[in-house]
Amino acid sequence: MSTHDGQAGADRPVFSVEPWCVREPELRLDRLAQTESVFALSNGHVGMRGNLDEGEPHGLPGTYLNSFYEQRPLPHAETAYGYPEMGQTVINVTNGKVIRLLVDDEPLDVRYGRLHHHERILDMRAGTLTRHVEWTSPADRTIKVTSVRMVSLTQRAVAAICYEVEPVDEAVRVVAQSELVANEALPGGGKDPRESAILSSPLVGEEHVANGTKVLLLHRTRQSGLRMAAGMSHDIEGPESMAIDTESSKDVGRLTVATRLEPGQRLRIVKYISYGWSSRRSRPALHDQVVGALAGARQTGWQGLLDEQRAYLDEFWEGADVEVDGDAEIQQAVRFGLFHVLQAGARAERRMIPAKGLTGPGYDGHTFWDTETFVLPVLTYTSPGAAADALGWRHMTLPLARDRANQLGLEGATFPWRTIRGHECSGYWPAGTAAFHINADISDAVVRYVDATQDEQFEREIGLDILVHTARLWRSLGHHDVGGVFRIDGVTGPDEYSAVVDNNVYTNLMARRNLQEAAETAMRHPDVADRLGVNAEEAASWRDAAAAMLIPYDERLGVHPQSESFTNHARWDFSATKPDHYPLLLNYPYFDLYRKQVVKQADLVLALHLCGDAFTDEQKERDFAYYEGLTVRDSSLSAQTQAVVAAEVGQLELAHDYLGETALMDLHDLNHNTRDGLHIASMAGAWSGLVAGFGGMRAGRGTLRFAPRLPGGISRLAFRMRYRGNRIKVSMTGEAARYELLDGRGLTLWHHGERFTLADEPVELPIEQIPVRPPVTQPAGREPAPRRIDPHGRVPRRR
C-alpha cells in the first residue's frame, strides 16, 4: 500500500534514482508541495505545477502565464525619493489540469478508501508527467487510473492530458468532470521574504462559453489591466452509452462524462487546454486566439503532440546531454536540471525567465540577475535561441531602464533588481537598486551569446544598444579620483550581507569588461554606434575608465578584499551561531551583517570564475581559501560557483561536494522551500559544476578552452555543447580526454593550454595530474555534505 499518511516512510527517499526520469514510487502527502514543484511542466510561456489530477489534496495549486501579473502597493516604513511604489506579483491563473472522478458516487480522493498503488514519473526524454493509480473506494469499488500530462514545447499555447479509467474486477459507474477553475483558494504566505505575496481572487470574469465539448473562460486582472483566456476541448472514447454535458460560469467551466464501465472497458478522455493573454488585445481577439490554438492541437492529435514533444527533446539532448559515471544521483540531477532550464526558457519568446521559472510563486514570480549569470550560460551553449529571446526581452525593457537611470540622476540604463515587466519591484534599496552589477551581468550575457553564436544581426539590433547604455551607466556612476583611479562607490555586490560598499571587486571587474566590450563593439558597427550617439570621445572615456578601474588588494593578507576595507571588518562569530539560526537574514539584523566579515553567497569567488583572467593562479587559490572560511551559503546561488572554482584550484573532492548541493537542491529539498517553486539557477548549476567545473570549460573572444579533471567519485564525464555552429562532445576519465566533432565545420580548441584543431577525426589528449591541495575550511556547521559514494552510486542523506 502506498504511503500517504504524511508520516510513514519519512526517512525514505521521495524519488528513485534513475538516469532519464524522476519517479515517485509512492504518494507522500507530507512532501506534496515539493513534488508539485519537481513535477511541474512548462514551456516558458505556460507553466503547470504537478498537482494531482483531482485538484485535491494539494500543497499549492498553480498554473502560470509568463509575465502575467497583478499589481500591489509596495509599503515602505519611510518613503524616500526613488523608491518604487508598486510591485508586481505573478498570479495563479485559470487551472485547466483538474479532472475529478466519481466512482459509484464516491469521489476519487487518495486520503480516503484504500490506495493500492500510486506512481508518478517525469520523463525527461518524452517531456511528460505520467501517473498510475489503483484505488479502492470506501464503497469497495476498485479502479485503475492512468494519466499523462504535457505542456507542448512546439505549440506554445497548448497543454494536454490523456486520462484513462478502467474497472479492476467488477462493473462501476463513473463520472469524470473535466474543469477550468479560476480564482482557486491558496494557502497563506509566511514571513520568509523569498515567498510570494498571496493575492485573493485577482481575476474578474468577463466571458464564459460552453459549446459541445469545448469551454472558454475569459478574465482580466483587477489592477494591472491584463486580460487572459483559457479554453479546453476534448476527445472522448468509451462505451456507447455515455452522457456528456458542458456548463460554464464566470469562474468555472465543466465538461461531465457519465458512463458504466464493465471489466475490460475503458473511458479515455483527451483534454486539450490552451491559454492566451495580452495587455492590449481585445476580448474577441483573445477568444479567437484560444479557439484557434485548440483547433491546432486537436488537428495534431494526442499522439501527434507526443511525437512533436519527443522530437523537440531529442534534438535538444543531442546538443546538451551530460553523462556521469560513478554518481547516479548527479547523473539524474544534471538531466533534471537541464530539462527544467529548457522548460523555463524554451518558448518564453521575448519574455523573462523568472528565478522559479513557471514552477511556483516564489519571489513573486520575479526575474533577477540569476537569469543572465547562471541560467543563460547553459542555454547559450545548449539552446542558444532561448538565450537570445531572454536577452531580447531585456532589450524591450531598455526604455524603462533608461527612465529609471534618469530618475536616479544617472546616464544610460539601470535595469531593475527584480521585476516581471521591466519596472523596479524591489522595495529595499541596499540589496536592490544598489546592486548595480545586474547591468554588467546583462551585458556579459550579451557578449557571451554573441561570442558563442556569431549572431551579427543580434549584436547590431540588440546587443550594442544594451552595451552602450550600460557603459554609460558605469561612466556616470563611477568617477576618477584625484589620482586618476576610477572608483565605483556605494554599491552592493552579489553578497547581500555586505551592502552599499565602495569598489566591490566583482562589480568593478564586470563593469570594466562592460566598458571595454561596449567600446570594441561600437567600433565594429560604427553606423549603429552613430545612431546611438556614440562618438570617439565617449568611447575613449569608456576605455580610460576601464584601464583605470580600481581593483582593491590587501597586501597584508595577500588576498583581494571583497570590497574596499572588507578585510578590516570584524569576523562573524560562527562558533556562537546556532545551526537553526541560518539563514542569518531571518535571525539577525542587517546592520550587524553589514559590518562583519560574513558572506551570504559567492561574491569575490564569483569574480574568480567569471573574470578569471584578472587573477593569477596563486591569487585564485589564496582568495578561494580565504572566502571559504566566511561563506555561509544562505543563498542557493552559491554552491555552484564554489564548485566551479574549487575544481579550478584543485579542490576536486570539495568541488564534488558543492556540486551535490547545487544539483540536489530541489530533488532533496535542501533549503526546505522547494514548495514555492524550483531554484532554476541551481538547476543550471548542475551543468556548470560539471562542464565549467570538472570540464574546465571557459569561452570568450572566439576561444573555447578546457582543463578537465575529475574527482575520485566520478569515473567518467561526457557532455555535449554548441559553439559557433559546431556541436561537439567532450568525454573524460581520470587519465585522458576525448574531443569529438558531432556536427559543423570544425574549430580550434584548447586543452590545458595546448591548442589543437578538431575536425573529422576525434582527438584524445592526456589529462595533467595535479598534486593534492591542503584542505580549506568552512564556517562551523556550514560544510557541504560529503559525496560518499557506495557501490551502487548512492550517497547517504543528511538527517
Catalytic residue among 166, 184, 496, 538: 496
Contacts of 115 (CB under 8 A, 6+ apart): 1, 2, 4, 27, 133, 134, 135
Strands 747-751 and 703-706: parallel
In order, the DSSP letters of 56-120 are: -S-S---EEETT-EEEEE---SS--TT---EEEEE----B---EEEEETTEE--TTSSEEEEEEE
User: Shortest CA distance to 696 belongs to which of 744, 739, 664?
Assistant: 739
Distances (CA, A) of 369 to 418, 490, 760: 8, 19, 39
Q: How far is CA 46 from the centre of its chain?
A: 14
- CA–CA separation, 428 and 435 (whole Å): 11
Contact (CB, 8 A) for 531 and 511: no
Angle between helices 652-663 and 638-648 in degrees, nearest 10: 160
Quote the pLDDT of residue 4.
Answer: 46
> Locate cell 466512482: which residue?
103
What topology is assigned to 16-73+86-317 in CATH?
A: Beta-galactosidase; Chain A, domain 5 (2.70.98)
Which ranges constitute the DSSP H helices of 613-679? Answer: 617-628, 638-648, 652-663
**Cis geometry, peptide bond prior to residue 57 (ω within 30 degrees of 0):** yes
Contact (CB, 8 A) for 218 and 229: yes
Quote the pLDDT of residue 757.
Answer: 98
Contacts of 91 (CB under 8 A, 6+ apart): 64, 68, 69, 70, 199, 202, 203, 221
Hey, how many other C-beta atoms are within 10 angstroms of the C-beta on 188? 7
In order, the DSSP letters of 710-757 are: --TT-SEEEEEEEETTEEEEEEE-SSEEEEEEEESS-EEEEETTEEEE
Contact (CB, 8 A) for 498 and 604: no
Provide the greatest CA pair distance for the chain.
90
Hey, how many other C-beta atoms are within 10 angstroms of the C-beta on 558? 12
User: Shortest CA distance to 750 belongs to which of 796, 798, 706, 799?
Assistant: 706
Distances (CA, A) of 560 to 165, 563, 602, 608, 643: 64, 8, 14, 10, 20
Hey, how many other C-beta atoms are within 10 angstroms of the C-beta on 357? 29
Quote the pLDDT of residue 431.
Answer: 85
Contact (CB, 8 A) for 83 and 76: yes
- Checking phi first, is residue 752 left (phi over 0); if not, alpha (psi -120 to 50) or beta? left
Strands (E), 404-511: 479-480, 486-487
Interval 186-212: pLDDT, tens: 886 555 554 555 577 899 999 999 999
Phi and psi (nearest 5°) for 120? -125, 140
Quote the pLDDT of residue 789.
Answer: 58
Q: How far is CA 378 from the centre of its chain?
A: 11
What cell numbers appear for 717 in the block? 564525464
601 is in an annotated binding site: yes
Phi and psi (nearest 5°) for 385? -65, -35
**Cis geometry, peptide bond prior to residue 583 (ω within 30 degrees of 0):** yes
369 is in an annotated binding site: yes
Separation of first and last alpha carbons in the chain: 25
Contacts of 387 (CB under 8 A, 6+ apart): 345, 376, 379, 380, 445, 449
Radius of gyration of the chain, Cα coordinates, nearest whole angstrom: 27
Distances (CA, A) of 3 to 11, 101, 114, 136, 674: 12, 21, 11, 15, 21
Quote the pLDDT of residue 188.
Answer: 67
User: Shortest CA distance to 604 belongs to which of 564, 557, 546, 659?
Assistant: 564
DSSP-based three-state secondary structure for 485: coil
> What global pTM score does this model have?
0.96
**Any idea where the domains of the chain sit in the sequence?**
16-73+86-317
Contacts of 797 (CB under 8 A, 6+ apart): 13, 668
> Which stretches of the chain score pLDDT less than 70?
1-11, 188-198, 789-799
Question: Which amino acid is present at 416?
Answer: P
> How many helices (DSSP H) and strands (DSSP E) are in the chain?
19, 33
Angle between helices 464-477 and 536-547 in degrees, nearest 10: 60
Work out the burial of residue 631: count CB atoms within 10 Å of its CB; fewer than 13 is exposed, 13-18 middle, 19 or more buried.
buried
- CA–CA separation, 229 and 264 (whole Å): 39
Quote the pLDDT of residue 5.
Answer: 46
Instruction: Give the Cα-Cα-Cα angle 687, 690, 695 (nearest 5 degrees).
Output: 125
What cell numbers appear for 307 in the block? 511525437
- CA–CA separation, 514 and 472 (whole Å): 10
- CA–CA separation, 336 and 219 (whole Å): 34
Quote the pLDDT of residue 749.
Answer: 98
Instruction: Give the Cα-Cα-Cα angle 727, 377, 487 (nearest 5 degrees).
Output: 140
User: Shortest CA distance to 62 belongs to which of 682, 678, 684?
Assistant: 678
Active site residue 496: yes
What cell numbers appear for 291 in the block? 479557439
Strands (E), 114-251: 114-123, 128-136, 142-151, 158-167, 172-181, 203-211, 214-221, 227-237, 242-248
In order, the DSSP letters of 3-31 are: --SSSTTTTS-SSEE-SSEEEE-S--GGG
